[in-house]
Amino acid sequence: KWFHDDFVPHVKQHLTQLNLPPNVVLPIDNAPCHLDEEMPTSGEIRAIFLPTNVTLLIQPMDQGVIEAMKRHYKKKLMTHILECEENLYEALKKNVKDVIYTIAQAISKSSYDPKIMPQNNCSKEERG
């Protein structure tokens, strides 16, 4: 239901705005809760299950990206607090929209930070 009602319409809209063809593959990990489901497809938009051993290989990459995102978020939050030095209470008053925006900025920055490339967390065998 989520795939057809939410994912497909949003992806189609996004690709249309970018003038790109709707050729999309959504990789899904092989968690037991997913294995009972039928593989969803909608035209050129489809989901595939990752093989069992792949999840273990990409997990260090997830950890590197999440770690970097947290680091950038904390830095941005601390910078904001320091800029509002006169009124700490006001500096800490953030709404959900502000927090989501700050997290999005942190994710954007962490994706391109060469110091925290996910490969640094992988063994030589995992890197290939």
Query: Which has more confidence, 125 or 62?
Result: 62
- pLDDT of residue 111 exceeding 60, the answer is no
Residue 113 pLDDT exceeds 50: no
Q: Are residues 64 and 105 in the same domain?
A: yes
- Is residue 91 in a domain? yes
Say yes or no: 2 and 20 in one domain.
yes
Q: Are residues 47 and 68 in the same domain?
A: no
- Cα four-point dihedral sign 117, 123, 126, 128: positive
With contact defined as beta carbons under 8 Å apart, do 71 and 50 qualify? Answer: no
Q: State the distance between the two ends of the chain, measured CA to CA, in whole angstroms.
A: 37
Same domain? For 69 and 42 the reply is no
pLDDT at 72: 83
pLDDT tens by residue, 10-67: 888 888 888 988 888 887 776 655 555 566 677 788 887 776 666 666 666 566 767 7
DSSP H helices, the chain, are 2, 8-17, 32-35, 52-83, 88-92, 96-111, 124-127
Q: Judge if 69 and 81 occupy the same domain.
A: yes
**Bigger pLDDT: 99 vs 24:** 24
pLDDT, average across residues 89-99: 75
Residue 94 is assigned to a structural domain of this protein: yes
Q: What is the pLDDT of residues 74-86, one digit of tens each?
A: 888 888 888 887 7
Together in a domain, 73 and 103: yes
